[in-house]
Amino acid sequence: MEDSLRKEDPLELAARYLRQRRELGEEELYLSPGLFDSIEKSPQEKSELLKELYDSSRDCTKCGLHEGKTNYVFGTGSASSLVMFIGEAPGREEDLQGEPFVGRAGKLLNRILVAIGLKREEVYIGNILKCRPPENRDPLPEEIEACLPHLYQQIDIIKPRVIVALGRVAAQTLLKTNLPMSKLRGRFYDFNGYPFLVTYHTAALLRNPQFKKPTWEDMKILRRYYDKITGENFKFYDEE
């Protein structure tokens, strides 16, 4: 009885369907684009796809930033994460180490994650750009245009349940808006079907301590949404 009620593997169903069509004499079968996109990939499959994307994009020369980079800063974290953080671009330490958010701003992000009951290795962290702009200047439109396809592919592989934009550049780029952070933060948007939350970049918190309180409020919004989709019930230290 239990076996008869067990949900069948979508891939097995697809294989059975193809066999049946061939038995009916069909030699060619046309599938609509995205027919199998809804099939959830395993963590291992996602990791392998991210590795393939890294290998195929690490030597990208579509913009001039590749000429001055020390490392290609692809992204880090769990390939099957429910939460994906997206920042602006690598800084000096990130360029040297080849990993996003490892400098002072990264250490602050780690502390924020701990404060809302998450670990760095449980989330995925990336940037709009994979190479450091000179002197940490804002990305140029042509640099963003060249690098965005890599980020979109990362999102498509990971398929997070929620995306968090860290800072003005990430938020304005992905939402295609010029609204200031004060108007963007603190609420969810729809980004290609993904719930999308905007908050301040942790580097901005280091320069402007007045942003810490609103950022903490944004992180509470994130954690409450996380609890909603996981069934957990996290208690904030300032609400106990």
Hey, what domains does the chain have and what are their CATH numbers? 42-231 (3.40.470.10)
**pLDDT of 212-239, one tens digit each?**
999 999 999 999 999 999 999 999 977 7
Looking at residue 28, its pLDDT comes to: 52
Q: What is the DSSP string of the chain?
A: -HHHHSPPPHHHHHHHHHHHHHHTT-------TTTTTTSPPPHHHHHHHHHHHHHHHTT--SSGGGGG-SS----EE-TT-SEEEEES---HHHHHHTSSS-SHHHHHHHHHHHHTT--GGGSEEEES-SSPPGGGPPPPHHHHHHHHHHHHHHHHHH--SEEEEESHHHHHHHHT----HHHHTTSEEEETTEEEEEE--HHHHHH-GGGHHHHHHHHHHHHHHHHHHH------GGG-
Looking at residue 31, its pLDDT comes to: 47
**Across residues 127-154, what is the average pLDDT?**
97
Which pTM value belongs to this model? Answer: 0.84
Looking at residue 18, its pLDDT comes to: 59
Looking at residue 42, its pLDDT comes to: 95
**Across residues 179-207, what is the average pLDDT?**
97
**pLDDT of 36-95, one tens digit each?**
455 789 999 999 999 999 999 999 999 999 999 999 999 999 999 999 999 999 999 999
